[in-house]
Amino acid sequence: MAYSAQTLDISGDRQSGQDVRTQNVTACQAVANIVKSSLGPVGLDKMLVDDIGDVTITNDGATILRMLEVEHPAAKVLVELAELQDREVGDGTTSVVIIAAELLKGANELVRHKIHPTSIISGYRLAMREACKYVEEKLAVKVDKLGKDSLINCAKTSMSSKLIADDSDFFANMVVEAVQAVKMTNVRGEIRYPIKGINLLKAHGKSAKDSYLLKGYALNTGRAAQGMPLRVAPARIACLDFNLQKTKMQMGVQVLVNDPRELERIRQREADMTKERIQKLLSAGANVVLTSKGIDDMALKYFVEAGAIAVRRVRKEDLRHVAKATGATVVSTFADMEGEETFEPSFLGHADEVVEERIADDDVIMVKGTKTSSSVSLILRGANDFMLDEMERALHDALCIVKRTLESSTVVAGGGAVEAALCVYLEYLATTLGSREQLAIAQFAESLLVIPKVLANNAAKDSSDLVSKLRSCHYLAQTKADKKHLSSMGLDLSKGTVRNNLEAGVIEPAMSKVKIIQFATEAAITILRIDDMIRLVKDESQNDE
């Protein structure tokens, strides 16, 4: 049977069998317990203070787990899992971690009852496939039937657990408008919503309700010099990724000068090279120059004389988005194949106008009427940094969810409805199987109930009572033909009752649920397969040499 920690011939110790499993499950439970209380519309926030004293207040699962420095190797799998969910779907990071930890806990119980991990793994895989199929075929509802309201409801559901839940009507409208504004059709004729074209700008002051949507991409910097015009229309934009400063010799290059008068000529030439570069930009027709690096004060006068706007120290990310939206090419060097320096007019991007506007206490540059894909900016207002950061995270999740809803066009009821339906369905499925996977599938079904349970607990309601009511509704929905409408019954956490969440507008994209089940199962299986852990000790003797 399982050995306790043994010493190996190599320098390190080894744990195997049940010991290492229990340890992995405990570590994953610990991580899940941290985020557990932040799930749901009445979830609580976490305050994280890092090693240099920076404070983050959030209840976004991915952010919490990213900020934690998790030591345990198995628990790190859960952190990666949350990041993956955040990247793929954008929301549901807390749920995915809680389900994965619960699946592991269940699997560990089964292993204790002498069921081989391989049987559990194949049972979990089967349950995952069946669950995803059931969500897509039976529980998912086409958005076309629900109209624009469904998008707003999806955004509201995503925001319900966040700081801005009280103003969710206001923000949900803003989010849906923003996502629909960046609609584009790609080469294959598919409609896409690149939400990277939505810029979130945080400005202090006023209240959250004073946030607004601006048509155009906003850059959080002002013009490089006061003499430049405030508005250029139509704008031809050059995006550069290098310095427009005096050309300096490379490190390690030495110039030996015999005649001191030559020195002055070298200095003059250095200044002239920058001037020539700027002339090339201007003669190609550029009247807006954005660079991610610096521009010399000396060089600014050429832009002022030409009546062009130059902006320095633009964030790389912003530069890429502007280039994509305006059809510009980000140029990182002027050198061409012949070794000459040239700048082609084809590198320029086009927009209707570029203006400098004042928002709160900051100057921002607005790029409006972009050529290839439209872009919008959400200007967020709020009392302090923590509030603004959390608003940004909440809106990011909501934007992702609306994008997913539009692209996949199917939604499911929220508030634990899907989990309860799957639990009832999988339990029935388990009884039809004669193989030993039966126990694993029943365990999988049981584990999914953790979501409605945690939701009810966080809302200070009686979870046993609510979950049993919820299960009875779903049992009726699946067995009685005239009770089909009960399949979207979920929890109403403010009143502590069960209600039809599709009608109440608590909905999520079906894709989000499917991904949560897939990712959580994969992560649980990855950790469950481990039955040996060898921890090597650093060899101190080598360091002394």
Told to judge if 210 belongs to the known catalytic residues of this protein, a careful annotator would answer no
Told to judge if 60 belongs to the known catalytic residues of this protein, a careful annotator would answer yes
Nearest to 359 by CA among 216, 166, 176: 216
Residues 6+ apart with CB under 8 A from 431: 438
Do the beta carbons of residue 199 and residue 318 sit within 8 Å? yes
Q: How far apart are CA 238 and CA 311, in angstroms?
A: 10
Told to judge if 94 belongs to the known catalytic residues of this protein, a careful annotator would answer yes
Do the beta carbons of residue 417 and residue 454 sit within 8 Å? no
The residues that bridge with 212 in the sheet, in sequence order, are: 379
Q: How far apart are CA 542 and CA 545, in angstroms?
A: 6
Do the beta carbons of residue 48 and residue 68 sit within 8 Å? yes
Q: How far apart are CA 534 and CA 545, in angstroms?
A: 26
| Structure tokens belonging to residue 60 | 């976004």
Q: Is the peptide bond between 345 and the residue preceding it cis, with omega within 30 degrees of 0?
A: no
CB 299: neighbour CB atoms within 10 A? 22
| Structure tokens belonging to residue 246 | 């005096």
Residues 6+ apart with CB under 8 A from 162: 59, 60, 390, 393, 394, 397
Q: How far apart are CA 212 and CA 484, in angstroms?
A: 42
Q: Name the active-site residue from 45, 56, 60, 157.
A: 60
Q: How far apart are CA 103 and CA 450, in angstroms?
A: 10
Q: State the Rg of the chain over Cα.
A: 29
Q: Name the active-site residue from 296, 389, 397, 492.
A: 397
Q: Name the active-site residue from 56, 93, 405, 521.
A: 93
Told to judge if 318 belongs to the known catalytic residues of this protein, a careful annotator would answer no
413: enclosing H helix or E strand: strand 410-413
Do the beta carbons of residue 524 and residue 100 sit within 8 Å? yes
Do the beta carbons of residue 170 and residue 209 sit within 8 Å? yes
Nearest to 505 by CA among 490, 487, 494: 490
**Residue ranges of the alpha helices (H) in 37-147?**
61-67, 73-88, 93-112, 117-134
Q: Name the active-site residue from 56, 63, 94, 326.
A: 94
Nearest to 211 by CA among 376, 401, 375, 61: 376
Which residues belong to the active site? 60, 93-94, 397
